[in-house]
Amino acid sequence: MITLEALYRLMGLLTGAAAVLNLGDRSNPHRIWNATFWALWSISFLFGTYLPDIVNGGVILAMVAVATARGIRPSRSESTTAAERSASAAKWGNRLFLPALAIPAFTLLANATIGRIRIGGTLLVDPKQITLVSLGLATLVALALGYWMLKPPVRAPFVEARRLLDSVGWAAMLPQLLAALGAVFAAAGVGKVVSAIAASWIPAGAPFLAVSAYTVGMALLTVLMGNAFAAFPVMTLGIGIPLLVTGMHGNATIIAAIGMLSGFCGTLMTPMAANFNLVPVALLDLSDRYAVIRVQLPTALILLAVNTVILYLFAFPL
């Protein structure tokens, strides 16, 4: 059965390759520190399931120490020249987007099919992880398509992955760390504290204020945590369920869906969401680190207002 462990192994190989390539790049004075950071992360991916919790914690603390003491510095060397990139763009045009577009297309296809496949009576994929496994398989399909189209050197994906990881630096870890933080917050009872604060500050008979507290709170907590999935259990346990579902008899499905969408509005506005807002900056070699956020900010605020109105109008009985 294919589980998330298979994806962890792939990520371990990728970050391990970044460590090896950094170690061999004598043009980068930070190569040892870069290699150490990515090697530690590779250990976490490859062996974290089998290591004691205290050892995993030590690996994370060592990564924090490396990032704090020296940071991650990208190499100035490039795998291709500007002339080569221009020639490739002129040859392929918009077809260069095909590998990237193949990822969502194949993810949807795999998500709808592989969950039914059985081998010897056993499901091929863990039913709880079909979407993530489908995304991992789609990425491999896109990689194969890129090889077939562009015929790059075998090591090109690893070289470019290393360049991207070095450009993003320690922020590449944020999605994992923040998702874990959300689980810690929920287990620590932060939702109950939020509920008590909301109940004391939101006056009775003010449903729009309660709705706004939930949607805007989801966005703001996502801005702070960088991950709507981490903010969701805190805000839903704190405001969504006690105030909107139980107190106002709202439709739990609509409230949860619009709550997540409101959190995604926060994702568009924060550098903490590194995979959305910092990776594109590195990919496009933009000089302004916050260029993506500046462009997304108006859209995020408008959508947040729209989500609030939709939730208020459609989640509650007439």
The reply to whether 225 and 281 lie within a common domain is yes
The reply to whether 195 and 281 lie within a common domain is yes
Which pLDDT belongs to residue 86? 85
CA dihedral 137, 141, 142, 147 (to 10 degrees): 140
Which pLDDT belongs to residue 184? 80
The reply to whether 101 and 199 lie within a common domain is no
Which pLDDT belongs to residue 303? 97
pLDDT(77) > 70? no
Q: Residue 170 falls within a domain, yes or no?
A: no
The reply to whether 283 and 210 lie within a common domain is yes
Q: CA 259, 3, 98: angle at the middle one, nearest 5?
A: 70
How many domains does one find in the chain? 3
Domain with 193, as residue range(s), is 189-314
Q: Residue 123 falls within a domain, yes or no?
A: yes
Contact 222, 268 (CB under 8 A): no
pLDDT(179) > 80? no
DSSP sequence for 205-250:
T-HHHHHHHHHHHHHHHHHHHS-HHHHHHHHIIIIIIIIIIIIT--
The reply to whether 199 and 110 lie within a common domain is no
Q: Which is nearest to 259 in space by CA: 224, 221, 226, 297? A: 221
The reply to whether 140 and 201 lie within a common domain is no
The reply to whether 37 and 91 lie within a common domain is no
Cα 293 to its chain centre, rounded Å, is 16
Radius of gyration of the chain (CA): 22
Q: Residue 179 falls within a domain, yes or no?
A: no
Q: Give CA–CA dist 66/251, Å, rounded.
A: 47
What pLDDT digit, counting tens, does each position of 14-51 carry? 999 999 999 988 888 888 999 999 999 999 999 999 99
Q: Residue 126 falls within a domain, yes or no?
A: yes
For residues 103-111, give the mean pLDDT.
92
**Amino acid in the structure at residue 35:** A
State the pLDDT confidence band at 83, using cuts at 50, 70 and 90.
confident
Mean pLDDT, the chain, integer: 88
Which pLDDT belongs to residue 78? 67
What pLDDT digit, counting tens, does each position of 145-168 carry? 999 998 888 888 898 889 888 888
Identify the residue with better confidence: 121 or 245.
245
The reply to whether 8 and 111 lie within a common domain is no
pLDDT(71) > 80? no
Which pLDDT belongs to residue 310? 95
Which pLDDT belongs to residue 58? 94
* Cα–Cα distances in angstroms (integers) from residue 151 to residues 97, 118, 155, 276, in the given order: 15, 35, 11, 28
Q: Residue 163 falls within a domain, yes or no?
A: no
The reply to whether 11 and 52 lie within a common domain is yes
Which pLDDT belongs to residue 42? 95
